[in-house]
């Protein structure tokens, strides 16, 4: 058996152990409750243990499993506090941490990508990785011209590991559901599987990053490192570092949170019109705050290509919801494929379902919070609520799936920041028709 198949078998076994571990702890907890143990304390202990196992397995495996964990870290703000707290620290670690690959593997990958004389390209190369990602790790180095650079090196066998992880996670989606209460696991895994294949060729990522870096080169709010060199499985870009957004979420002052939230929202809503691309990996590990106040953005492996900016139906849909126009809204939903042919649902019910999501655009400033997002998740996810039945009538066309996930993910980070943001002004700058009557 070759090395990669052995690793794949090991990965599959570890992933399979996740739901088994949760089930075992649930059974043990149930037994302790029968014996008279405190229900809340036992549940908290079970969830904390599940969180530890989640990080240990997903972090160790990297690949699609770690990507899955990173995606969950964005949406934890939508989960009720008593459920989210045990997972928050474990999921946050997945944004930037994973065990490093051996130096020999790093050297072999760099030789394959840049030739046997790859060391001559660098004055210095730090053998210890500075950061880890889902399919690669980053080393600090000094380029031959004296510039400090970040060298991103893909893990050997990353492609097979990614696809194997996501296939296995998809098969186990129902069993994994307790690891992420309140989340729909299977659609998330399906969408990640479609996007991850695109991230495996760093030349595509380098092209995306060059486009963002050129557009935001002199921007007073956003900084994107320039690409120095690229190959299919390795990439070199400028070394830039600042304060991690996850630290602002945990320890930032309200002023720092508000500033970070405004920068993040500005980047999210401006990129489709400025670069005609949407950065599609909005977890906090990809954003930092620099000493000069700008937001650093990294990791451009996944993007949505939007040659005409945000698709017009999405803007018009928001406009109709803001203007309380149920008849126009449902007509647009039908014509754009958001309602399946033959679906019968009242226009007023659809407006009632969608209108609360536009609340951040109805005032000059909006305070994002976990409680607001949790309320929205409960409203549309409660089987007993009328909104739940309305939501089942709606359809999300495939061309909008990635935009939808990224926008929700960005809102999730804003809620983690609990930021007070002038979202109406930010969105209106790039979608001015949204607030013009008619």
Nearest to 151 by CA among 134, 132, 136, 138: 138
* Model pLDDT for residues 323-343, shown as the tens digit of each residue: 999 999 999 999 999 987 778
Length of the chain: 438
Answer yes or no: do 146 and 217 share one domain: yes
Integer distance in angstroms from the first to the last C-alpha of the chain? Answer: 67
Answer yes or no: do 208 and 337 share one domain: no
Answer yes or no: do 123 and 154 share one domain: yes
Alpha-helical runs (H) found in 35-119? 39-61, 63-75, 81-93, 103-114
Higher pLDDT, 177 or 121: 121
Query: Which residues are CB-contacts of 177 (< 8 A; sequence separation ≥ 6)?
Result: 183, 185
Higher pLDDT, 12 or 282: 282
Please say if the pLDDT value at position 295 is more than 90.
yes
- For the chain, give the percent of residues with pLDDT over 90: 50
Instruction: List the 122-132 sheet strands across, edge first.
Output: 122-132, 136-143, 148-154, 234-238, 227-231
Please say if the pLDDT value at position 190 is more than 70.
no
Higher pLDDT, 186 or 336: 336
Nearest to 234 by CA among 99, 109, 100: 109
The beta-strand segments (E) located in 187-302 are: 222-223, 227-231, 234-238, 243-244, 277-279, 287-289, 295-297
Answer yes or no: do 219 and 290 share one domain: no
Give the span between the Cα atoms of 266 and 185, in whole angstroms: 29
Please say if the pLDDT value at position 79 is more than 50.
yes
3-state secondary structure of 41: helix
* Residue 82 phi, psi dihedral angles, 5° rounding: -65, -25
Answer yes or no: do 84 and 107 share one domain: no
CATH label of the domain that carries residue 141: 3.30.200.20
Answer yes or no: do 269 and 186 share one domain: no
Please say if the pLDDT value at position 358 is more than 50.
yes
The beta-strand segments (E) located in 160-255 are: 222-223, 227-231, 234-238, 243-244
Answer yes or no: do 181 and 264 share one domain: no
| Contact predicate 235/205, CB 8 Å | yes
Structure-token pair, residue 403 = 């935009």
Tally of domains within the chain: 3
Amino acid 156: pLDDT = 83
Please say if the pLDDT value at position 33 is more than 70.
no
Amino acid 10: pLDDT = 44
* Model pLDDT for residues 147-174, shown as the tens digit of each residue: 999 999 998 877 776 666 666 666 655 5
Give the span between the Cα atoms of 377 and 419, in whole angstroms: 19
Give the span between the Cα atoms of 380 and 391, in whole angstroms: 7
| Domain range for 310 | 242-438
Answer yes or no: do 252 and 373 share one domain: yes
Give the span between the Cα atoms of 404 and 391, in whole angstroms: 15
* Model pLDDT for residues 362-386, shown as the tens digit of each residue: 999 999 998 898 888 778 766 677 7
Please say if the pLDDT value at position 137 is more than 80.
yes
Lowest mean pLDDT among 25-29, 144-148, 288-292: 25-29
Mean pLDDT, rounded, of the chain: 79
Amino acid 41: pLDDT = 44
Answer yes or no: do 361 and 436 share one domain: yes
Q: What is the pTM of this model?
A: 0.77
Amino acid 176: pLDDT = 53
Higher pLDDT, 375 or 84: 375
Answer yes or no: do 251 and 140 share one domain: no
Please say if the pLDDT value at position 98 is more than 60.
no
Higher pLDDT, 405 or 292: 292
Answer yes or no: do 220 and 256 share one domain: no
Answer yes or no: do 223 and 278 share one domain: no
């Amino acid at each position: 058996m070759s090395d990669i198949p052995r690793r794949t078998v090991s990965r599959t076994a570890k992933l399979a152990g996740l739901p088994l571990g949760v089930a075992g702890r649930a059974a043990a907890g149930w037994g302790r409750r029968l014996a008279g143990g405190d229900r809340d304390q036992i549940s908290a202990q079970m969830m904390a243990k599940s969180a530890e196992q989640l990080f240990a397995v997903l972090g160790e495996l990297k690949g699609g499993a770690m990507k899955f964990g990173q995606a969950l870290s964005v949406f934890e703000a939508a989960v009720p506090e008593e459920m989210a707290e045990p997972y928050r620290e474990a999921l946050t670690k997945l944004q930037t941490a994973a065990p490093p690959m051996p130096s020999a593997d790093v050297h072999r990958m760099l030789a394959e990508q840049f030739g046997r004389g790859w060391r001559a390209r660098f004055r210095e190369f730090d053998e210890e990785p500075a950061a880890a990602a889902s399919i690669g790790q980053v080393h600090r180095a000094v380029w031959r011209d004296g510039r400090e650079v970040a060298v991103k090196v893909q893990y050997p066998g990353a492609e097979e590991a990614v696809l194997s992880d996501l296939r296995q996670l998809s098969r186990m989606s129902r069993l994994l559901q307790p690891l992420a209460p309140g989340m729909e696991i299977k659609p998330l895994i399906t969408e990640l599987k479609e996007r991850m294949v695109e991230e495996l060729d760093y030349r595509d990522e380098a092209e995306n990053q060059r486009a963002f870096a050129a557009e935001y080169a002199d921007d007073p709010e956003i900084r994107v490192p320039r690409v120095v060199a690229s190959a299919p499985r390795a990439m070199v870009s400028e070394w830039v570092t600042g304060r991690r957004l996850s630290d602002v979420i945990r320890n930032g002052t309200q002023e720092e949170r508000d500033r970070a939230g405004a920068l993040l929202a500005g980047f999210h809503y401006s990129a489709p019109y400025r670069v005609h691309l949407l950065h599609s990996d909005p977890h906090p590990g990809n954003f930092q705050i620099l000493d000069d106040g700008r937001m650093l953005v990294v990791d451009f492996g996944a993007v949505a290509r939007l040659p005409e900016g945000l698709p017009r139906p999405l803007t018009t849909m928001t406009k109709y919801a803001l203007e309380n126009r149920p008849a126009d809204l449902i007509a647009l939903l039908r014509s754009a494929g958001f309602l399946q042919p033959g679906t019968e649902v009242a226009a007023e019910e659809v407006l009632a379902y969608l209108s609360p999501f536009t609340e951040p655009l109805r005032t000059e400033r909006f305070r994002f919070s976990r409680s607001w997002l949790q309320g929205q998740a409960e409203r549309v996810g409660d089987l007993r609520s009328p909104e739940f039945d309305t939501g089942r009538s709606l359809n999300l066309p495939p061309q909008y799936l990635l935009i939808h996930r990224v926008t929700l993910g960005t809102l999730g980070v804003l809620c983690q920041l609990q930021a007070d943001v002038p979202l109406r002004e930010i969105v209106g700058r790039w979608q001015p028709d949204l607030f013009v009557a008619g």
